[in-house]
Amino acid sequence: MNDKKDSRIYSGATPSEIEEDLLPLLDFEAKKLTLKELSKIINQRLIPHLMNYNNPHFISMYNLLPDNGGKFGAEISLEYNQGVTAWEVSPGGVVLEELCCQALCRLFNLSSEADATFMYCGTYSNQSALYLALHWTAEKKYGFDFGKHGLKGFPDLNRLVAVTSTDAHLSLKHAIRVLGLGEESIITVPVDKNHHMDIEALKETLTRLKDEKDIFCVIATAGTTSTGSIDPVLPIATLCNKLNIWCHVDGAYGLSYYLVPEKKPLFNGIELVDSITWDPHKTLGVVIPNSLLFLKRKDDFRRHSIFGDYFNREEDLEPNPGLKSPPTTRPLSALPLVTSIRYTGIDGLRKRLNDNLITIQTVYNELKKDDEIEVCHKPELGVLCIRIIPKNIPKSHLDQLQRFIFEEIKHEGKFSISTTKIDNKAVIRLVVLNEAVNVKSILETIQHIKRIATHYSI
């Protein structure tokens, strides 16, 4: 049993096999179960099918197990089940969240005017940032209250666009859909050969659209999903400031690496942008959900505020974090983040993050020497995309080959890699986050990938 547990990353079962295992758990009309009985069912029928993020061969996604500090805080949050919306539902939780947001602004060297709020995930943080950008634009450029009048206040909706790079995360599409503008309202600019937003292309786009469109937001990504590249924040922010356009940085994955001194210069300009998304649940091993939205000017949060009669009243003197983000019931996310950082210590955290970077850089150097592998980019953070290019496989089959490898691995339950597209070509994506992953375990995965490639038939 243990052997199986150690070597497998999950059971490798098919969706219908998992369904068969889980169905008894879902018979809500059946007699009630004791915790012991529930535990037995869950241990036998669910746990084997869960992904083990602590496996040295889990190198696919931005997920990792919580560290002991994060777990400790999460257990207390669970036990007290605090809703951190208003002072009267959790005085201690409210003050902890406010202090934590201020301490994080200092940690990222944001100005004393900056502030943050906890969110459920990066998708919602990005969504809120775009909402605030649109609201701000309505007020500053059109002189109306977007909260009150909504899209109806704009004279011509066809003019409203947000600009980002082709490598930005799909959550921006969600955001623009929810705003009621539709995906056509996102304009993408190309990336350069290292997958950073091409600043010249951005300048050209902003100039070209100056009279034709109203750009309400430019979104840079600090740590793209596919390659971990960090867009040049300083020139993007400077350009936006000059043109009076809201600048958002999606640092859901990447912002943590600001804490690594060698990487900090890549984030130059972060203090100039209007909003930043950061997901401690991705890189710090803090229990999901744990995401934040930073704003350069705390006063901008007022555009999220809806006052109530029964709570979050305008006249309340105490802090009410629920006025800074939309959910009415909000978890005590600050506690696991605080306990995780304090338990690991800032030096420990820096080391953990830096170890990811050393591992991926070493793997990159190794794979560059391999003529059956194409490395698709120079890694900036902990992500590396490669293509397996065996000599006997024609170029026209290489996309299918990468997909074949991915599908085979997905169903074995022993390794975990991801796949994406770079420059419209299918690639295999490797992500290093978890401490159990090392150069050896990645090279073992590569060997396995190569073995699978030999089974591909044209």
Ligand X SMILES: Cc1ncc(COP(=O)(O)O)c(C=O)c1O
Q: For residues 169 and 324, which CB has a smaller minimum distance to ligand X in the complex? A: 169
Q: For residues 62 and 146, which CB has a smaller minimum distance to ligand X in the complex? A: 62
**Cα-only R_g, the chain:** 24
Closest approach of ligand X to the CB of residue 279, in Å = 5
Among 214, 250, 274, 300, binds ligand X (CB under 6 A): 250
Instruction: Show contacts with ligand X in window 221-240 (CB under 6 A).
Output: 221, 225
Closest approach of ligand X to the CB of residue 172, in Å = 8
**Kind and range of the H or E run holding 226:** none
Q: Taking CB positions, which residue lies at the least distance from ligand X?
A: 122
Verify binding: residue 131, ligand X, rule CB under 6 A: no
Verify binding: residue 62, ligand X, rule CB under 6 A: yes
Q: For residues 171 and 256, which CB has a smaller minimum distance to ligand X in the complex? A: 171
Closest approach of ligand X to the CB of residue 395, in Å = 30
- Residues β-bridged to residue 292: 118, 278
Helix ranges, 300-455 (H): 334-344, 346-368, 398-412, 439-453
Closest approach of ligand X to the CB of residue 249, in Å = 10
Q: For residues 85 and 227, which CB has a smaller minimum distance to ligand X in the complex? A: 227
Verify binding: residue 154, ligand X, rule CB under 6 A: no
Closest approach of ligand X to the CB of residue 108, in Å = 17
Verify binding: residue 253, ligand X, rule CB under 6 A: yes
Q: For residues 146 and 246, which CB has a smaller minimum distance to ligand X in the complex? A: 246
* Segment interacting with ligand X, rule: CB under 6 A, options 97-105, 117-125, 130-138, 151-159: 117-125
What is the C-alpha to C-alpha distance for residues 383 and 360, in angstroms, rounded to an integer? Answer: 7
Instruction: Show contacts with ligand X in window 185-224 (CB under 6 A).
Output: 221
Closest approach of ligand X to the CB of residue 66, in Å = 15
Q: Are the C-beta atoms of 344 and 351 separated by less than 8 Å?
A: no
**Kind and range of the H or E run holding 55:** none
Q: For residues 73 and 122, which CB has a smaller minimum distance to ligand X in the complex? A: 122
Q: For residues 278 and 456, which CB has a smaller minimum distance to ligand X in the complex? A: 278
Instruction: Show contacts with ligand X in window 282-341 (CB under 6 A).
Output: 291
Q: Are the C-beta atoms of 320 and 304 separated by less than 8 Å?
A: no
Verify binding: residue 429, ligand X, rule CB under 6 A: no
What is the C-alpha to C-alpha distance for residues 232 and 247, in angstroms, rounded to an integer? Answer: 12
Q: For residues 225 and 312, which CB has a smaller minimum distance to ligand X in the complex? A: 225
Closest approach of ligand X to the CB of residue 250, in Å = 5
Verify binding: residue 169, ligand X, rule CB under 6 A: yes
Among 191, 252, 273, 332, binds ligand X (CB under 6 A): 252
Structure tokens at 355: 């170890």
* Binding footprint of ligand X, residue count (CB under 6 A): 14
Amino acid at 106: R
Residue 330 falls in which region: left (phi positive, over 0), alpha (psi -120 to 50) or beta: beta
Q: Is 428 helix (H, G, I), strand (E, B) or coil?
A: strand
* Segment interacting with ligand X, rule: CB under 6 A, options 200-208, 229-237, 250-258, 299-307: 250-258
Closest approach of ligand X to the CB of residue 321, in Å = 19
Q: Which of 153, 114, 110, 158 is nearest to 135 (CA)?
A: 153
Q: For residues 230 and 446, which CB has a smaller minimum distance to ligand X in the complex? A: 230
Q: What is the DSSP letter of 154?
A: S
What is the C-alpha to C-alpha distance for residues 214 and 154, in angstroms, rounded to an integer? Answer: 10
Q: Are the C-beta atoms of 387 and 428 separated by less than 8 Å?
A: yes
Among 85, 90, 171, 312, binds ligand X (CB under 6 A): 171
Verify binding: residue 123, ligand X, rule CB under 6 A: yes
Complete edge-to-edge strand list for the sheet that includes strand 383-388:
373-375, 383-388, 425-431, 418-422
Q: Are strands 214-221 and 160-165 parallel, antiparallel or unpaired?
A: parallel
User: Going residue by residue from 257 to 286, which x/- string records binding to ligand X, judged by CB under 6 A?
Assistant: ----------------------x-------
Q: Are the C-beta atoms of 217 and 176 separated by less than 8 Å?
A: no
Side-chain half-sphere exposure of 257, counting CA atoms within 13 A: 28
What distance lies between CA 69 and its chain's CA centroid?
21
CB atoms under 10 Å from CB of 166, counted, come to: 15
Q: For residues 253 and 294, which CB has a smaller minimum distance to ligand X in the complex? A: 253
What is the C-alpha to C-alpha distance for residues 331 and 68, in angstroms, rounded to an integer? Answer: 19
Q: For residues 221 and 359, which CB has a smaller minimum distance to ligand X in the complex? A: 221
Among 66, 69, 122, 228, binds ligand X (CB under 6 A): 122
Closest approach of ligand X to the CB of residue 168, in Å = 7
Q: Which of 267, 62, 277 is nearest to 172 (CA)?
A: 277
Exposure string of 195-219, with b = 16+ CB inside 10 Å and e = fewer, is bbbbbebbeebbeeeeeebbbbbbb
Binding footprint of ligand X on the chain (CB under 6 A): 62, 121-123, 126, 169, 171, 221, 225, 250, 252-253, 279, 291
